[in-house]
């Protein structure tokens, strides 16, 4: 079983469009993962039907029990995240600012601070319109720890892959190069690095290449919105070549693509040219992972 | 006025809007401070080309004082982030898991932990009176995005009185760092992309803003027909500030790092609406 992760650094570079295109060629027992848990979008093109869902608990939620609080102010003074506020003359924890370290509970001289597990999102397994299963999630807004949620859905996908005897898992990664991206690429076999033909796309790809160089994973390049800016195209080609990253595909900039997305069309499904393009890309990735 | 520019989806046009709006304000004689809070992928300066002076950003990390340690492991047991590994005569902190909460230092009864610091990134400044840029840049491989964003915001609070308008270009998404950027803003502008992906992410972001009790203005970018948005806006009483058409010339200019004012955005109207609201 091989795991392919699609990442780009920059948001809006085309990860989801390309992942959805690749997924068209998956077999029924293969698995797709939407690891952009902040803003999961594959569902829009793949019309998944929910099979099962699970709560995602992450971290701890602390609460000051007002009946017991003696207003000593210790927690307020010592919290490293300034997460304790005074509301109506009571000390109250601001759940957004709170990182759940428990220092307040440790310091409280009268044990007035209680703790519970924090429900921060949902994990889903669904069946897509193409027949294969998709593992996805939704992180509750304003939560941290998307890296942990990404790790958990990847684990679900791996277990499912073993059960179903899958040969391939494709993962749509999150934007950025932080915690959740690191989590998405950990333990995978091959990365498809999707670059956008813009100055931001180039800059963000340089950082992504730097981030991924120490991972024991194969890397292949892809240029999206190709032709939008010829000088950036050339720089991207040179960047990939200089890092010995083979370019396995291009998607030419076209004003039609947003129109197709508007109609919720997965590119290879209805358009022959795109079908050939994505089939070629899929086959090259399969060859590369062996 | 402190304005936060956010979007659920990446690539929706936050940075483009930030640059265009900032240039407009400067042309009206306003002093503008831009905070680039997308610290994982900071792109604002690709469009401004300012010379930035960087200062390293440090955060707290516990340090072991070996001779005081009795290997009781209480620090490791109490750390809710599992950031400490302790065995007999062995003590290790895992920096990528440590949240700098200092709990371990308080827990230790033997004074075997003291505060130290480590670098997680840097903050660049342009020192320009009219259009000043503060850029957070997270070190590659580092995961403490929120901690760096907090420090950029902290730095901007110190100098905010020198500027008429502060514009915060946020990271994409709806998670903690985005809230961090929006919590204290006077105005929030959501830049959303006119595709089903963009709309779906916009709805998630809108829920988040509702949850923290923040009103916002909407700018629809890459506007084709506004599917979903018009209905949502009228139903939820969202003020639509503007629509930026899907335009190949704007995309081309953006790709070169050169966004110029375009006639289709009525910034006079946008600025006045923000001032009134």
pLDDT tens for residues B198-222? 999 999 999 889 888 889 999 999 9
Residues B115 and B133 in one domain: no
Note whether B256 contacts A60, CB cutoff 8 Å.
no
Kindly state the average pLDDT of the residues B140-165.
Answer: 93
Name the residue range of residue B161's domain.
2-52+126-276
Dist CA A72 CA A132 (whole Å): 57
Of residues A158, A154, A161, the one with CA closest to residue A137: A154
Residues B210 and B256 in one domain: yes
**Quick one: pLDDT band at residue B174, thresholds 50, 70, 90?**
confident
**Widest Cα–Cα separation across chain B:** 70
Residues B12 and B143 in one domain: yes
* From A81, A141, A144, residue closest to B207, measured CB to CB: A141
Name the domain boundary from B119, B139, B166: B119
Chain A CB within 8 Å of residue B228 CB? no
Residues B109 and B194 in one domain: no
- The CA distance from B272 to the nearest CA of chain A, in Å, is 30
Cα-flanking dihedrals φ and ψ of residue A136, to 5°? -145, 180
Strands B187-193 and B84-87: unpaired
Dist CA A144 CA A59 (whole Å): 9
Is a pLDDT exceeding 80 seen at residue B276?
yes
Give me the numbers of helices (H) and strands (E) for chain B, helices first please. 10, 11
Return the percentage of chain B with pLDDT > 70, whole number.
Answer: 99
The pLDDT tens digits of the residues spanning B10-51 come to: 999 999 999 999 999 999 999 999 999 999 999 999 999 999
**Are residues B62 and B92 in contact, defined by beta-carbon separation less than 8 angstroms?**
no
The pLDDT tens digits of the residues spanning A48-99 come to: 999 999 999 988 999 999 999 999 999 999 999 999 999 999 999 998 889 9
pLDDT under 50: residue ranges of chain A: none
**Are residues A41 and B201 in contact, defined by beta-carbon separation less than 8 angstroms?**
yes
Residue B11: CATH number of its domain: 3.40.50.300
Name the domain boundary from B96, B119, B142: B119
Chain A CB within 8 Å of residue B4 CB? no
Question: Which pair of tokens denotes residue B256?
Answer: 């070169």
Of residues A204, A136, A44, the one with CA closest to residue B193: A44
Q: Which domains are delineated in chain A?
A: 2-57+122-289 (3.40.50.300), 66-111 (3.30.70.20)
Name the domain boundary from B102, B119, B136: B119
Residues B229 and B144 in one domain: yes
- The whole-number pLDDT of residue A12 equals 93
Residues B154 and B35 in one domain: yes
Strands B165-169 and A168-172: unpaired
Residue B64: CATH number of its domain: 3.30.70.20
Residue with the two structure tokens 């295109």: A21
For chain A, how far is it from start to end, CA to CA, in angstroms?
10
Q: Which of residues 91-150 of A touch B (CB under 8 A)?
A: 96, 99-103, 106-107, 138-139, 141-144, 146-147
Residues B174 and B272 in one domain: yes
Interface test with B, best of A39, A78, A209 (most B CBs within 10 A): A39
Is a pLDDT exceeding 70 seen at residue B261?
no
**Are residues A171 and A3 in contact, defined by beta-carbon separation less than 8 angstroms?**
yes
Of residues B154, B153, B155, the one with CA closest to residue B53: B155
ipTM: 0.90
Residues B218 and B263 in one domain: yes
The neighbour count for residue A190, using CB atoms within 10 Å, is 20
Residues B103 and B150 in one domain: no
Residues B30 and B133 in one domain: yes
Dist CA B248 CA B271 (whole Å): 26
Dist CA B66 CA B68 (whole Å): 5
Cα-flanking dihedrals φ and ψ of residue B148, to 5°? -70, -40
- The whole-number pLDDT of residue B128 equals 85
Residues B260 and B219 in one domain: yes
Dist CA A96 CA B140 (whole Å): 26
Dist CA A56 CA B156 (whole Å): 35
The pLDDT tens digits of the residues spanning B221-240 come to: 999 999 999 999 999 999 99
User: How many domains does chain B contain in total?
Assistant: 2
> Would you state the torsion angle of the CA atoms of residues B241, B246, B248, B252, taken in this order, to the nearest 10 degrees?
40
Tell me the sheet residues that pair with B223. B245
Residues B241 and B111 in one domain: no
């Amino acid at each position: 079983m091989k795991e392919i992760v699609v990442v780009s650094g920059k948001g809006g570079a085309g990860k989801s469009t390309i992942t959805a295109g690749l997924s068209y060629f998956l077999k029924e027992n293969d698995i797709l993962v939407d690891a952009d848990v902040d803003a999961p979008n594959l569902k829009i093109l793949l019309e998944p039907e929910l099979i099962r869902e699970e709560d995602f608990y992450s971290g701890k939620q602390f609460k000051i029990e007002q009946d017991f609080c003696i207003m000593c102010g210790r927690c307020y003074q010592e919290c490293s995240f300034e997460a304790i506020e005074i509301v109506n003359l009571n000390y109250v924890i601001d759940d957004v600012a709170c990182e759940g370290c428990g220092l307040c509970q440790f310091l409280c001289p009268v044990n007035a601070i209680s703790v519970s597990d924090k429900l921060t999102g949902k994990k889903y397994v669904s069946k897509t319109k193409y027949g294969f299963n998709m593992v996805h999630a939704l992180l509750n807004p304003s939560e941290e720890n998307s890296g942990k949620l990404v790790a958990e859905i990847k684990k679900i996908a791996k277990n499912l892959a073993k059960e179903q005897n899958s040969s391939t898992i494709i993962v749509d990664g999150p934007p950025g190069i932080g915690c959740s991206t690191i989590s998405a690429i950990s333990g995978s076999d091959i990365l498809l690095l999707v670059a956008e033909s813009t100055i931001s796309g180039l800059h963000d790809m340089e950082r992504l290449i730097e981030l991924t160089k120490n991972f024991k994973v194969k890397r292949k390049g892809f240029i999206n919105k190709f032709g939008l800016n010829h000088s950036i195209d050339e720089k991207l080609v040179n960047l990939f070549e200089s890092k010995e990253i083979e370019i396995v595909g291009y998607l030419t900039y076209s004003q039609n693509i947003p129109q197709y997305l508007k109609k919720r069309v997965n590119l290879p499904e209805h358009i022959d040219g795109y079908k050939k393009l994505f089939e070629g890309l899929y086959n090259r990735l399969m060859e590369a992972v062996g | 006025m402190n304005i936060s520019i956010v979007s659920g989806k990446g690539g929706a046009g936050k940075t483009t809007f930030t640059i265009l709006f900032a240039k407009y304000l400067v042309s009206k004689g306003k002093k503008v401070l831009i905070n680039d809070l997308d610290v994982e992928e900071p792109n604002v300066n690709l469009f401004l080309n300012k010379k930035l002076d960087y200062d390293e950003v440090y955060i707290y990390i516990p340090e072991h004082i070996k001779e005081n340690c009795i290997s009781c492991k209480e620090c490791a047991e109490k750390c809710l982030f599992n950031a400490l590994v302790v065995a007999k005569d062995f003590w290790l902190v895992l920096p990528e898991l440590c949240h700098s909460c200092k709990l371990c230092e308080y827990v230790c009864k033997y004074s075997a932990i003291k505060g130290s610091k480590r670098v997680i990134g840097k903050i660049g400044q342009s020192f320009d009176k009219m259009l000043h840029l503060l850029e957070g840049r997270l070190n590659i491989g580092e995961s403490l995005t929120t901690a760096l964003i907090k420090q950029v915001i902290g730095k901007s609070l110190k100098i905010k009185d020198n500027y008429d308008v502060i514009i915060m270009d946020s990271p994409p998404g709806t998670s903690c760092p985005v809230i961090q950027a929006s919590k204290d803003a006077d105005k929030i502008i959501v830049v959303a992309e006119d595709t089903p992906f963009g709309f779906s992410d916009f709805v998630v972001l809108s829920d988040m803003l509702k949850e923290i009790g923040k009103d916002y203005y909407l700018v629809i970018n890459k506007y084709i027909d506004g599917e979903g948005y018009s209905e949502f806006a009228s139903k939820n009483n969202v003020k639509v500030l503007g629509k930026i058409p899907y335009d190949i010339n704007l995309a081309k200019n953006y790709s070169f790092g050169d966004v110029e004012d375009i006639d289709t955005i009525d910034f006079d109207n946008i600025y006045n609406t923000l001032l009134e609201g």
